[in-house]
Amino acid sequence: MANHSSPSDPDGSRRGISTQSVHAGEDRLKPCFALTDPIFCAATFNFENTGSLIEYVAKKLPRDEYARYGSPGDKSVERKLAVLEGGEAAVLYSSGMAAVAGLLLARLQAGDEVVLFDECYHRTREMCVKHLGKFAVVTHQVPACDYQRMEAVITPRTRLLVSESPTNPHLSVVDVERFAALGKKYGIETVIDSTLATPYNLRPLAVGVDYVLHSCTKYLGGHNDLVAGAVIGSAEKIEPLRKLRGVFGMISAPHNAYLLLRGMKTFALRMERHNANGLAVAEFLAAHPRIERVYYPGLPAHPYYEVARRTMGGFGGLVTFQVKDADEHQTARIVDAVRIPRIAPSFGGVESLIEQPIYMSYHDFARPQREALGIFDNMIRLSCGIENTEDLIADLKQALA
């Protein structure tokens, strides 16, 4: 189970994750004595005189110069993210996919190889295969959680092992200890996209994973009102990513950083409800006669239940299920019949969201391609928000009726 206390603060104390969500990374006294961090709408930051500029360059002083290289709001968010994940440093990006791109571009060059579990986010796979492939980076995809297959395709040119945990939308759970150990065995860096797990439910860095990646758009921001991404790790590993972000300009806007900082203050409280709603809804669906299959790692019938129970502090709010003896149109009628969840992409916000993956995320795929990836016509993905549990279940009950 994940440990819901965070690394030591500078004063030496150990504080719980909710306390850290509110206070970590922030100065106790802020500009103009404001309780909340101000929004710095500054593209550039001036120096008092030439001497102060020379001192900044020579001593690498911790201040800002130009917003493409970072700004005060970014730094507060990054410090908080690092504490929540138990890392030394974090780098904030304009989106989750910008974080993926920033990490891959920083760590890979022509001739290198990367190994992915095949349930990784389809845009991550597309970036590796279609786009990095144009620059002679070789991508190997192996079945999710098949560590023997992953090990079998490792070569002296392999530079990264990449996975999500849990995966989306099948919610397969990676044994992060085994995954990290495989990387250590061959001297290969490991990456876990922990967007679905969040630092509330999983701490990959604590078991030796090198990089943790988040789409902060989801649970960390939590209100469906911002787009951002981040990578967390050791200070040594994060610094090259930060420098490359400055070259490519993958920065988050000042208002985005403010919204993310504000959203994270209630992160732990929201995750309690997301976890509770996800488990209750999954149990309801698993017992319903119209449901063929439920994908949720908190259910004992899930193939990775034991791994999830051993490694995770909770199982999140995302539930995927298949409707028994239903085609795509019958399945769509259930989606249309719910009254609380909105039909929309994404997940992890306070509002419940619902979708059919064949229409929302895999509409460009032919049916044989979709089914090869485990995406079926009768599949529904439900992101449970923080509404009352009994209301969500009652709504699903009437929709299925």
> pLDDT for 20-33, tens place per residue?
999 999 999 998 89
Give the type of residue at 209.
Answer: V
17-261 is classed CATH 3.40.50.2000: no
Write out pLDDT tens, residues 379-389: 999 999 999 99
* Residues whose CB is less than 8 angstroms from the CB of residue 176 and which lie 6 or more positions away in sequence, other chains included: 165, 192, 202, 204, 207, 209, 311
Pairing of strands 379-383, 318-323: antiparallel
Nearest Cα to Cα of residue 164 among 118, 199, 229, 133: 118
**Distance, CA of 368 to CA of 154 (rounded, Å):** 29
Ordered DSSP codes for 71-112: -HHHHHHHHHHHHHHT-SEEEEESSHHHHHHHHHHHH--TT-
Q: Are 380 and 323 in contact (CB under 8 A)?
A: yes
Contact 350, 385 (CB under 8 A): yes
Q: How far apart are CA 347 and CA 262, in angstroms?
A: 18
pLDDT at 319: 98
Return the SS3 of 128.
helix
Same fold yes or no, 17-261 and 267-400: no
Output the six-digit token pair for 322: 């298949």
Q: Could you report the per-residue pLDDT of 134-151, keeping only the tens digit for each? A: 999 999 999 999 999 999
Q: Which residues of the chain have pLDDT under 50?
A: 1-8, 10-13
Residue 362's pLDDT is 87
Amino acid 208: pLDDT: 98
pTM (predicted TM-score): 0.93
Identify the CATH number of the domain defined by range 267-400.
3.90.1150.10
Return the active site residues: 68, 121, 193, 218
List the chain domain ranges: 17-261, 267-400
The DSSP code for 38 is P
Neighbours of 391 (CB within 10 A): 13
